Structure 1
Amino acid sequence: MELKAVLIDDEAQSREILENYLLKYCNGVRVSGQASNINEAMEVIGNTDPDLLFLDVEMPFGNAFDLLEKLPDRNFEIIFVTAYQQYAMDALNQHAAYYLMKPISIDALVSAVDYVREIKAREAALNDKVLQGVKKVEGKITIPLQDGFEVLDVSQIHYCQADDNYTRIFLANRKILVSKTLKYFEEALSAFPFARVHKSYLVNVSEVVRYRKGKGGSVLLNSGKEIMVAPSRKRELLRFFE
């Protein structure tokens, strides 16, 4: 499996050497970003969603541990790369996958990458196994999240709203932003009483308490939310109440 890696080191030459080593000796590792300090690292991590961080300890404006404190919910593995042996215990306390000393040994680098690849492969296999089991549970749907997934009772969903390539899922007392299109949820919920009443809305018909007539009309939900019905979607909605 391919691993997306981000290199964080204040020395450009160190990043260049590491990138060359990865390219030459570690198949399937793609460097998706680099940073020289904490502020740059936060931006790059947010933009690239990496699988793996190669992280130097000492940097301007704070160290690696300051960065990790800002990222309590992380979905990547960490390989520390440093010239300072005294940080090893702190690295272990941060659940680092590996600790490499500078200058980097190629054999140690290959072992570190292989170790992370094995972790990621096992996570993916476990995730697939759990998802397959969940799909068999009647009345449930899995919501993909950045750090895994959440299992929802379909009955908890009031409506879904399109937001470009994202979807906002509205529940009784909260909402979830998911990086899937509304079309994805229209298909995922096709076995349940959900109606696509508008290009931007998918409604749980069980939550509808009133229909207002009009060219397309509108539906009023239990929550008090009123949603316009597109004329082309009116027939689909009314079929649920025949």
Structure 2
Amino acid sequence: MNLKAILIEDESNSREILRNYLKKYCPKVDLVGEAASIKEGLKLINNNDLDLIFLDVEMPFGNAFDLLEQLPERSFEIVFVTAYDHYAKDALNEHAAYYLMKPINIDELIKAVAYVFEVKEKENKLQESVLNSKSKGVSGKLTLPQQDGFQILNVEEILYCKADDNYTEIFLENKKILVSKTLKYFEEALSDFPFARVHKSYLVNVNEVVKYRKGKGGSVVMSNGKELLVSASKKKQFLSFFD
């Protein structure tokens, strides 16, 4: 499997450098087009079934986020390439798979491509086969601290946990429980069970996932019908729970 990719960058010299790096160090990337503007980039995206876009942030007549606003539904991964580190948070919000700083470090470029390749490979396998969870059983108990003591909860009852500042909402089939602990606390407490941190705000019981959707970063549908976002940076970890 190769990654079908395009490059959107307004500086011809930067395009040439990245093009040459990809050809020399990333043979599994098929660069099928280049664009120097948002308009050209949008045309390329609409005319190709893509796996990956290398996207500069600042361009004439707009920026990368203006382009992405026009693409609410997308199945390709994004690697931002920019000379400005202050866009990192916005890139994460747009579910970027990787954030490369100029001048491009070859090792980082190789890591970015390897990450996207692994994610796409896992997604393709999931589409073509019956899901076989590699997760361990969820039999166990969890104590939830409360003002007057603690509550004991069967781990298998938990559908997912949601961050709420320094609190965590624990969602069960028919109710939710608010606990004065961070989501990080529960991520560690449940590390021996099949729970995946799919987003900065969500920790899910993998056995309660009934559907996975590709998209910006992807999303999962839980057994109660709730759809939760999957961050691009968390996608590989989540997909690793399946063959």
- Normalising by structure 2, report the TM-score: 0.53
**2 CA distance for matches of 1:62 and 1:70?**
12
Are residues 1:68 and 2:68 paired?
A: yes
Q: Give runs of ≥4 in structure 1 deviating > 2 Å.
A: none
Q: Which runs of 5+ in 2 are unaligned?
A: 132-213, 216-243
Q: Which amino acid aligns with 2:34?
A: Q
Please tell me whether the aligned partners of residues 32 and 50 of structure 1 are also in contact (alpha carbons under 8 angstroms): no
The residue that corresponds to 2:15 in the other structure is 15
Equivalences for residues 37-56 of structure 1 within 5 A: 37-56=37-56
The residue that corresponds to 1:2 in the other structure is 2
The residue that corresponds to 2:86 in the other structure is 86
Q: Which amino acid aligns with 1:28?
A: K
The residue that corresponds to 1:164 in the other structure is none
The residue that corresponds to 2:118 in the other structure is 118
Q: How far is 1:130 from its partner?
A: 4.4
Q: Which runs of 5+ in 1 are unaligned?
A: 132-145, 148-242
Please tell me whether the aligned partners of residues 33 and 48 of structure 1 are also in contact (alpha carbons under 8 angstroms): no
**2 CA distance for matches of 1:91 and 1:8?**
15
Please tell me whether the aligned partners of residues 9 and 55 of structure 1 are also in contact (alpha carbons under 8 angstroms): yes
**2 CA distance for matches of 1:48 and 1:16?**
21
Cα deviation code 1:204-230 (max 9, x no counterpart): xxxxxxxxxxxxxxxxxxxxxxxxxxx
**2 CA distance for matches of 1:32 and 1:92?**
25
**1 CA distance for matches of 2:117 and 2:69?**
24
**2 CA distance for matches of 1:67 and 1:15?**
18
RMSD after superposition: 1.7
The residue that corresponds to 1:77 in the other structure is 77
Are residues 1:107 and 2:107 paired?
A: yes
Q: How far is 1:105 from its partner?
A: 0.3
**2 CA distance for matches of 1:15 and 1:49?**
21
- Taking every aligned residue pair, what percent have the same amino acid on both sides? 64
**1 CA distance for matches of 2:50 and 2:18?**
16
For residue 27 of structure 1, give the secondary structure of its aligned residue in structure 2.
coil
Are residues 1:36 and 2:36 paired?
A: yes
Q: Which amino acid aligns with 1:92?
A: L
Rg larger for: 1
Please tell me whether the aligned partners of residues 38 and 59 of structure 1 are also in contact (alpha carbons under 8 angstroms): yes
For residue 79 of structure 2, give the secondary structure of its aligned residue in structure 1.
strand
Q: Which amino acid aligns with 2:56?
A: D
For residue 96 of structure 1, give the secondary structure of its aligned residue in structure 2.
coil
**2 CA distance for matches of 1:50 and 1:11?**
22
For residue 129 of structure 2, give the secondary structure of its aligned residue in structure 1.
helix
Please tell me whether the aligned partners of residues 37 and 60 of structure 1 are also in contact (alpha carbons under 8 angstroms): yes
Q: How far is 1:50 from its partner?
A: 1.4
